[in-house]
Amino acid sequence: MAMTPIDQHIAPGKFPGGDAASLLGDGPGRRGDRIFRAVALGAGLVVLVVLALIAASTTHEAWPAFRAEGLSFITSSTWIPAENKFGALAFIYGTVLSSMLALVLSVPVSLGIALYANEAAPSRIRRPIVYVMDLLAAIPSVVYGLWGIIVLAPFLGPNVYEPINNAVGGWPVIGWFLKGTSGRSFMTAGIILAIMITPIITSLSREVIATVPRAQREAAYGMGATRWEMIRTAVLPWGRGGIVGAVMLGLGRAMGETIAVALVIGSQTGQITTHLFEAGDSMAAVIVNQFGEATGTHRAALVGLGVVLFLVTILVNVSARSIVGRFDRQARGA
Amino acid sequence: MNDLIERTDTGELLLRDTTRRSRRVRNRLASIWMTGSLIVAVVPLALVIGYVLVKGIGQLTPDWFTKDLPAVTRKAGGGMGPAIVGTLLITLTAAVMAVPLGILGAIYLHEYGGRGRVARLIRFMADVMTGVPSIVMGLFVYTVWTIAHGLSAFGGALALACLMLPIIIRTTEEMLKLVPDELRLASYALGNRKWRTIVTVVLPASFGGITSGVMLAIARAAGETAPLVFTIGAARKLNLSIFDGPTTSLSVQIFGNAQTPFEAAQARAWGAALTLVAIVFILTILARVVSAAVARRHNA
């Protein structure tokens, strides 16, 4: 039986009398303990069972599409359900592009708030900052999507994207990206995603920054550093691992986000373009938009998109966790 | 000495007299970046909440809570009753499944498994499960439940329970860690068995923290849309049965109505958004209040 540190204090043999120790033993009449432990273990194992079932059942359901398409499921961008062609590359591209845009927009802001809340804010507004972040995280994604499709997208299209497109759309290099006039676009999806992942990245980085030893900060101040120099030399290097982990967890969240993206990305199937202000599509958005009318191989292909999404987000999350884990050990000084 | 660092006027004074201009400018820029970030984050929050309030409040008549959904979405009229009931029913069913499992799982992790191999694996997998996108949970439940048993509130609840489970496990474990070992030792010394110690001493001691974690998980689940789209269907009338027949939810109604160009449907989406945000915020704030109250009692 695995023992927690506390059990070891009273493990059998530690006490001369032995009676207290047998409270934790497996002798006769100890059925209650054994049953309780088994039930708790069973509940914990549900996690493993569910994860295994997710992988097995979705892969099985998607198998007809995987078998028909082979590798071109992820290398082709031709997605024509009527002709039984299912190449998901454009959707993978859309997922990656919109989440990368979200990171680019969100990371500087999240980091700024985390630093402000921990290093610069007067102590009486630190708690309100945490409350605001909590509320931001609590708003359901479909509500962001609703606001995005009815308010934000119709505003951005003619008032922001069009002027930018007209001004610099023809220029080399930046013109490749800042082109298009569609309100519902990769960029709008990136903005909505950025709003949604900011609270996550902020609160995780804040926790990391809070672990920087006080002495280290004061040493930097003692050397005559300004606040920014203190942050740059004492806070950021210490928290680097944890902050990278926090950003990757945000990335995982952005890639799996469905409803808000489905509403604002524009649902332009098969679009691979560097033009940020044009409509596109993402894996999760395609699944939710097409599932209703899909049958047969088409439905299998949509479940297949789910399998790809599952694998990608697991990969991102596991690497994020291992980075954070390494940081934790380092912070504990082990 | 702390006072010297944290008093801003002292800082300004020291800074002006002792540092070069370029360093002062850079410091200033960094401060602007940090405060600016906060403003940048607060603006969308204020805008979203403002729009939801202003556009949604007009919908909330008594009919809104009691009437069925209208047959024709582009016309005004009808109510959101079935969706409100659906959201509450689905979330409650999910909580009934996920909360006991999650708390028991956390008890295993902290009270029995400790740093053992099985516990470490479960802990890692729970973290992995937290990262599984909600739409994948929807597809999963669709393949293992909906194909065989049809659309129902229970399918949606299964998907939400899968989303809640790892969150409850991990937050509950954190709360169990905060229970001092002395309490457990005292209970053993009184002759309590381990399971009695857990049930009568450890769980009550961490009740506040666990409750607040559970409520946050429920609040998150109540707003989910993607896992419900393929699993609960789209009913127009009130369906109080959990296993039998399609139902609907606030989130699914928002999603559906937001995509239409009709004014009445969009208005309905805003009303549903206000109702949903109110439910979620109440749960979130209650969670805060509970954990703050417990923290006060502990400190007293």
How large is the average pLDDT for residues B109-113?
91
* pLDDT above 50 (res A14): no
How many inter-chain contacts (A to B, CB under 8 Å) are there? Answer: 300
For chain A, say whether B143 makes contact (Cβ under 8 Å). Answer: yes
* pLDDT above 70 (res A16): no
How large is the average pLDDT for residues A4-8?
57
H/E segment holding residue A183: none
Which residues from B are below 8 Å from A46, CB to CB?
101, 105, 165
Enumerate the H helices of chain A as residue ranges: 5-9, 31-69, 72-75, 89-115, 126-138, 141-147, 153-156, 162-168, 174-177, 186-210, 214-222, 227-230, 236-256, 259-264, 283-290, 296-331
The residue that leads in pLDDT, B52 or A267, is B52
- Closest Cα in chain B to A19: B191
Cα distance between residue A24 and residue A297, in whole Å: 56
- CA distance to A138, A142, A241, A271, B235, per residue, from B277 (Å): 8, 10, 35, 34, 22
- Quick one: pLDDT band at residue A273, thresholds 50, 70, 90? confident
A55-59, A155-159, A188-192, B137-141: which has the minimum mean pLDDT?
A155-159
* pLDDT attached to residue B1: 46
The fold of A90-333 is MetI-like fold (1.10.3720)
Stated pTM of the model: 0.88
* pLDDT attached to residue B230: 87
Mean pLDDT of chain A: 85
- DSSP collapsed to 3 states, chain B: CHHHHHCHHHHHHHHHHHCCHHHHHHHHHHHHHHHHHHHHHHHHHHHHHHHHHHHHHHHCCHHHHHCCCCCCCCCCCCCCHHHHHHHHHHHHHHHHHHHHHHHHHHHHHHHHHCCCHHHHHHHHHHHHHHCCCHHHHHHHHHHHHHHHHCCCHHHHHHHHHHHHHHHHHHHHHHHHHCCCHHHHHHHHHCCCCHHHHHHHHHHHHCHHHHHHHHHHHHHHHHCCCHHHHCCCCCCCCCCCCCCCCCCCCHHHHHHHHHCCCCHHHHHHHHHHHHHHHHHHHHHHHHHHHHHHHHHHHHHC
- In tens, the pLDDT along A85-101 reads 888 899 999 999 999 99
* pLDDT above 50 (res A310): yes
Which amino acid is residue A320, in one-letter code? A
CA distance A74 to chain B (A): 18
* pLDDT attached to residue A15: 44
* pLDDT above 80 (res A334): no
Cα distance between residue B48 and residue B278, in whole Å: 13
DSSP bridge partners of A79: A86
H/E segment holding residue A80: strand A79-80
* pLDDT above 90 (res B296): no
A121-125, A202-206, A232-236, B182-186: which has the minimum mean pLDDT?
A121-125
- In chain A the first and final C-alpha atoms are separated, in Å, by 27
CA distance A183 to chain B (A): 14
* pLDDT above 60 (res A5): no
Which residues from B are below 8 Å from A141, CB to CB?
223, 225
Mean pLDDT of chain B: 88
Which residues from B are below 8 Å from A253, CB to CB?
131
- In tens, the pLDDT along A235-254 reads 888 888 889 989 998 999 99
Do B139 and A306 make contact, defined as CB atoms within 8 angstroms?
A: yes
* pLDDT attached to residue A50: 95
* pLDDT attached to residue A27: 55
For chain B, give every domain's residue range: 2-58, 61-299
A12-16, A24-28, A191-195, B291-295: which has the minimum mean pLDDT?
A12-16
* pLDDT attached to residue B72: 78
Do B42 and A58 make contact, defined as CB atoms within 8 angstroms?
A: no
Q: What are phi and psi of A79, to 5 degrees?
A: -120, 95
How large is the average pLDDT for residues A142-171?
90
Contact (Cβ atoms closer than 8 angstroms) between residue A205 and residue A239: yes
Do B254 and A39 make contact, defined as CB atoms within 8 angstroms?
A: no
How large is the average pLDDT for residues A53-79?
90
- Closest Cα in chain A to B145: A57
Q: Which residue among A48, A129, A149 places its CB closest to the CB of B125?
A: A48
Q: What is the CATH number of domain B61-299?
A: 1.10.3720.10
Do A109 and B40 make contact, defined as CB atoms within 8 angstroms?
A: yes
Which residues from A are below 8 Å from B101, CB to CB?
43, 46
User: SS3 of A86, please?
Assistant: strand
* pLDDT attached to residue B87: 94
- In tens, the pLDDT along B200-245 reads 999 988 888 898 889 889 998 999 999 999 899 888 888 888 888 8
- Closest Cα in chain B to A193: B44
Q: Which residue among B118, B195, B269 places its CB closest to the CB of A33?
A: B195
CA distance A190 to chain B (A): 14
Contact (Cβ atoms closer than 8 angstroms) between residue B239 and residue B153: yes
Contact (Cβ atoms closer than 8 angstroms) between residue B227 and residue B143: no
* pLDDT attached to residue A6: 56
How large is the average pLDDT for residues B12-24?
72
Do A146 and B254 make contact, defined as CB atoms within 8 angstroms?
A: yes
* pLDDT attached to residue B122: 94
* pLDDT attached to residue A21: 47
